[in-house]
Amino acid sequence: MTAGTAGSPEVGPVQLLEKHRATLDQALETIRSRAYWSPHPEHPKAYGEGGTLSAEEGRAAFEELRGSRFELPGQPGGDGWTATESSPYGIALDIEYPHVDVGTLLPAMRLGMPAWREAGPEVRAAVCLEILARINARTHEFAHAVMHTSGQAFLMSLQAGGSHAQDRGMEAVAYAYAEQTSTPRTAEWSKPQGKREPLELSKSFTAVGRGVSLLIGCNTFPTWNGYSGLFASLATGNPVLVKPHPRAVLPLALTVRIAREVLSATGFDPNLIALAAEREGEGLAKELALHPQVRVIDYTGSTAFGDWLEAHATQALVHTEKAGVNTVVVDSTDDYQGMLANLAFSLSLYSGQMCTTPQNLLVPRDGIDTDEGAKSFDQVVTDLAGAVDKLLGDDARANALLGAIVNAQVGERIDAAGSLGEVALASRAVTHPEFPDATVRTPVIVKLEATKPEAEAAYLSECFGPVSFAVAVDSTPEAVRLLRRTVREKGAMTVAGYTTSPEMEQLIEDACLEECAQLSLNLTGGVYVNQTAAFSDFHGSGGNPAANSALCDGAFVAGRFRMVEVRRPA
Amino acid sequence: MTAGTAGSPEVGPVQLLEKHRATLDQALETIRSRAYWSPHPEHPKAYGEGGTLSAEEGRAAFEELRGSRFELPGQPGGDGWTATESSPYGIALDIEYPHVDVGTLLPAMRLGMPAWREAGPEVRAAVCLEILARINARTHEFAHAVMHTSGQAFLMSLQAGGSHAQDRGMEAVAYAYAEQTSTPRTAEWSKPQGKREPLELSKSFTAVGRGVSLLIGCNTFPTWNGYSGLFASLATGNPVLVKPHPRAVLPLALTVRIAREVLSATGFDPNLIALAAEREGEGLAKELALHPQVRVIDYTGSTAFGDWLEAHATQALVHTEKAGVNTVVVDSTDDYQGMLANLAFSLSLYSGQMCTTPQNLLVPRDGIDTDEGAKSFDQVVTDLAGAVDKLLGDDARANALLGAIVNAQVGERIDAAGSLGEVALASRAVTHPEFPDATVRTPVIVKLEATKPEAEAAYLSECFGPVSFAVAVDSTPEAVRLLRRTVREKGAMTVAGYTTSPEMEQLIEDACLEECAQLSLNLTGGVYVNQTAAFSDFHGSGGNPAANSALCDGAFVAGRFRMVEVRRPA
């Protein structure tokens, strides 16, 4: 296929719509009800039949990719190859991706826009759902790709990087469809003029994309954090240029290749999506972000670069998820063991390398009331450390929960944590039976005094990785004041609270409503503050410094297209 | 009433909801159907009964305001008085408005946010509709206020500045309500866990405003261009600070005073809306726009300041309507007289001082086909000049259509137009029988050659006021190429086309879809390219340099609030 031209479709729009309309309708219903739903199984054994890759097939497909050139047939502007990944599990990937000349690629990406616009929101949604269906069929392959770029453990890679990411993508497709179709395709307008003939016009309304949409991927959650923006932009008529993190190219490269295949098969220009893998130290994101043809940006990563994008890429609509400092207010509980177990799991999952992992545990200096009686500050911290130890005592379970440390900086932060205060729980290294070169570390918990200036400097900075601070505060109201300040100054993706007091609950809730942060209260079972479910939970609020948008809501999709009206006499 | 406190309500939420629910439902239905609807009569005689001001009462109320101090009881931060208006009709206004200390006012405006948030989207919508109903009852008073600040003729002031502005406000309330209520207030979430008990959470979702919303008003359409942003922000939970144009304070001051009365009467803090009138040359908009507590901005005015806002007010969500260069492509017509009459009216209405008035009429050098036979370029221009002359031949009708020139710069542009090319229609001064000091001018039409560099400099700049250019082009496809370039480089609020050729129609339509501009085709009757109807037409596209948003769509309201979720075990 020649770049910029579409072949005759293997799959027609009618077939596609028939295949996916019921799923789209269910997704549309669920973003309104926000009940539980997912069409993407999260159990590994759910795959292997009906054209989906089994565990063995997924692993084999991944092994096939290692040490190879990742071809993207027909993608214009190729000017060489680049390989920048290294598995946090220590195995060689050695996958080369095409490097592109942006000046050639960007104009070519726009050529398919008219046909993609003319297809309309429903066909675009069906094409997006077909892409997601084909990604879903290869969930096991994606699991390995996510595992060996992010360092997530296998099961988490399969769930968060596979089915849950697919859910987020579908959620964005549903929001995009709903927002575009809230204006009718045509309207007849008749304005009475008293005894004279009415004024009459026929109007048509067409959703048009803004232009090229740039996805700047992240290292830790390349698919989960990337799919909302990718599918929201594609579904609203925009070509999508994917610039992955240089350490996490494969999951997005697979995504782009599958999407290009589906676009071709359905008669659209495959260049509506393209991959821009960069060379080591190239700084391609900065160059692309300021390009006049780039009109939408989705970014997940550091606060510094996110702030830079918001300030400088003013030609584009910029959606950012940056860093925050997540707080847990511990006031009281009627399920002490449940609270400890829940928090221990939250701190341990993916070694705290989630933007949603709690960092500061604010506990009153005089202790808390629990169903097991009063517990002093020290006791709470000791018991939490014990809960983490118990959770991770078995190396097999520790490896399954922790995954690998994604880069050396995280390791350095773990090692430096001891200098910040009294260590309540020291980090230990865990050996991975299959990947002996992986760096696997358990969390460290450091005790701090809220009012000490040097402590404040520590707990008011994001310390990305498995480092958390048990901060002694004067009282719960004081904890809530500190929570407010933290959210306002540093941002927060999540807030958690434990309390049996209606007054304290209201205090925490009001703080979150006013400072605009998502709150989880009294989680003691199998739901964790760091996890959000697509179709039901909002990820981030978009209203505090941690992020300027939320996954996913109307605002996330509404600006990606404009409605062009043509009116004529009826 | 003390600033920052709410009295006990005179009108309860239940009463308000009963009163306005049917209207809200109709508005919600109409933004979906985009059929014709308005609850605000545009005929002057429709007013005078049912608690609405008659023509005489409206005039008397306006006269009462002249030469007085405009009090805003309870508005905090007052530090003096300012009077900056002068009627384009030459009468003295001498109205003094409170000047405020922003550092005192802004924090006070936030005090009412929690109760306003807790009220929820439905009560907020009902309060907004009550404000609009009370404004509507005083439409005749507003008509005089708009007339003597903008220079619009009386009937236009009553319609565009009164009922149509109220429509735009209500449309924004409907969009705000729809967007906020697309997420349910609560949800029960139950995730199956195979043979184990399902995971269950109770979730609540609360729409929270971003913070203080700043409305920067314009001189020509203080209410019409202001109400969408004002009501969208108020309805989504934000306090609104209104900074009117120093020459058009009164219409927005009246609006603020009515809104404060309604907020008080319904038990909310009146400081949820406030007026910041500035002193001559104070530059208050710039100071307010960068204030960290200002989180949303709505602006209508010059491109220079709009671009500055977009680049610098990065702490806020910025909605701009700037200037553009509006084009008419004249290819052919089957109603030559209808086309001429329609264009003549468009050029004359409010002396071309509308952001939607056509500026460049692109006509093929070899002439066009019409139902009256072939017409040469010169003939078309001569006939259009004749149509304008005929339309404005009678001074009474001319005054009723033209209104007054809003400021001296517009007058200077009219006088300078003759130096740009051959004058096809000269502007004449019209005497106003009631207001002899008003500057009333008919439009000027200048012929230009598309390809001459000095002509290009003229027609590719916005020449605000009753100056239009009849530009000779090689062909219709050449006109469309110039249209594309104009929209891309200069932006456009409107595009019009006249053609009987399906091929040329497609060419024009494709250009508008790709360059993102709103198109009116073959208007020959009583609908004009410069007019858009709320609930049905989009004003601007938000996708070209003339504006970054459209009135009104989901994107215009969706970012003004964030959804805060609280989840707890079920």
Residue B450 · residue B473 · CB < 8 Å: yes
Of chain A residues 254-283, which have a CB less than 8 A from chain B?
A: none
B519–A566 C-beta distance less than 8 A: yes
How would you write A103-131 as a 3-class SS string? HHHHHHHHCCHHHHHHHHHHHHHHHHHHH
For residues A532-537, give the mean pLDDT. Answer: 98
Looking at residue A6, its pLDDT comes to: 45
How far is Cα A487 from Cα A495, in angstroms, rounded to an integer? 9
Report residue A221 CA to chain centroid gap: 6
Looking at residue A10, its pLDDT comes to: 84
Distance from CA of A548 to the nearest CA of B (A): 10
Cβ neighbours around B288 below 10 Å, total: 23
How far is Cα B125 from Cα B121, in angstroms, rounded to an integer? 6
Looking at residue B4, its pLDDT comes to: 40
Report residue A125 CA to chain centroid gap: 20
A533–B191 C-beta distance less than 8 A: yes
Of A357-361, A408-412, B380-384, B511-515, which gets the smallest average pLDDT?
Answer: A408-412
Tens digits of residue pLDDT in A46-86: 999 999 999 999 999 999 999 999 999 999 999 999 999 99
Domains within chain A, CATH numbers bracketed: 34-184+209-298+318-322+550-558 (3.40.605.10), 327-521 (3.40.309.10)
Based on its alpha-carbon atoms, the radius of gyration of chain B, rounded to whole angstroms, reads 25
* pLDDT at A294 exceeding the cut of 80: yes
Diameter of chain A measured on Cα atoms: 88
- Residues 6+ positions from B273 with CB-CB distance below 8 Å: B230, B234, B239, B240, B241, B242, B256, B259, B260, B263
Tell me whether A312 touches chain B (CB under 8 Å): no
How far is Cα B77 from Cα B102, in angstroms, rounded to an integer? 7
- Among the partner-chain residues B32, B533, B562, the one whose CB lies closest to the CB of A182 is B32
Phi, psi of A201 (to 5 degrees): -135, 145
Does residue B261 sit in helix, strand or coil?
helix
How far is Cα A463 from Cα A461, in angstroms, rounded to an integer? 6
Tell me whether B22 touches chain A (CB under 8 Å): no
Looking at residue A8, its pLDDT comes to: 64
For residues A463-469, give the mean pLDDT. Answer: 95
Looking at residue B104, its pLDDT comes to: 97
Encoded tokens for A177: 């469809």
Per-residue pLDDT band at A2 (split at 50, 70, 90) = very low
B542–A36 C-beta distance less than 8 A: no
Distance from CA of B23 to the nearest CA of A (A): 18
Beta strands B561-569 and B368-370: pairing type?
Answer: unpaired
How far is Cα A125 from Cα A337, in angstroms, rounded to an integer? 46
* pLDDT at B101 exceeding the cut of 70: yes
Per-residue pLDDT band at A9 (split at 50, 70, 90) = confident
Does residue A415 sit in helix, strand or coil?
helix
Residue B160 · residue B169 · CB < 8 Å: no
Residues in chain B: 570
Looking at residue B8, its pLDDT comes to: 65
One-letter identity of residue B360: N
Tens digits of residue pLDDT in A398-426: 999 999 999 999 999 999 999 999 999 99
Tens digits of residue pLDDT in B301-333: 999 999 999 999 999 999 999 999 999 999 999
In the block, tokens 């070694």 appear at A351
Tens digits of residue pLDDT in A297-329: 999 999 999 999 999 999 999 999 999 999 999
Residue A55 · residue A138 · CB < 8 Å: no
Tens digits of residue pLDDT in A193-220: 999 999 999 999 999 999 999 999 999 9
Distance from CA of A542 to the nearest CA of B (A): 7
In the block, tokens 């609030």 appear at B561
Tell me whether A234 touches chain B (CB under 8 Å): no
* pLDDT at A454 exceeding the cut of 50: yes
Of chain A residues 313-352, which have a CB less than 8 A from chain B?
A: 314
* pLDDT at A7 exceeding the cut of 80: no
Distance from CA of A239 to the nearest CA of B (A): 14
How would you write A479-493 as a 3-class SS string? HHHHHHHHHHHHCCC
pLDDT > 70 fraction of chain B, expressed in percent and rounded: 99
Q: Which helix (H) or strand (E) holds A62?
A: helix A55-65
CA distances from A429 to A392, A467, B100 (A): 11, 14, 62
How far is Cα B543 from Cα A369, in angstroms, rounded to an integer? 57
- Among the partner-chain residues B35, B541, B567, the one whose CB lies closest to the CB of A564 is B541
Encoded tokens for A469: 């601070």
- Among the partner-chain residues A35, A182, A509, the one whose CB lies closest to the CB of B187 is A35
Encoded tokens for B489: 């480089």
* pLDDT at A445 exceeding the cut of 90: yes
Does residue A424 sit in helix, strand or coil?
strand
A518–B199 C-beta distance less than 8 A: no
Tens digits of residue pLDDT in B74-96: 999 999 999 999 999 999 999 99
Does residue B9 sit in helix, strand or coil?
coil
Residue B543: its chain A contacts at CB < 8 A? 208, 210, 562, 564
- Among the partner-chain residues A526, A550, A566, the one whose CB lies closest to the CB of B199 is A526
Looking at residue B5, its pLDDT comes to: 43
A36–B568 C-beta distance less than 8 A: no
How would you write A231-276 as a 3-class SS string? HHHHHCCCCEEEECCCCCCHHHHHHHHHHHHHHHHCCCCHHHEEEC
Tens digits of residue pLDDT in B225-281: 999 999 999 999 999 999 999 999 999 999 999 999 999 999 999 999 999 999 999
* pLDDT at B547 exceeding the cut of 50: yes
How far is Cα A31 from Cα A172, in angstroms, rounded to an integer? 10
**What's the CA dihedral at A534, A537, A541, A547 to 10 degrees?**
-30
Q: What is the ipTM of this complex?
A: 0.96
Looking at residue B9, its pLDDT comes to: 78
Encoded tokens for B333: 């017509």
Of chain B residues 147-186, which have a CB less than 8 A from chain A?
A: 178-179, 182-184
Tell me whether A364 touches chain B (CB under 8 Å): no
Of A26, A23, A33, A211, nearest in space to A126 by CA: A23
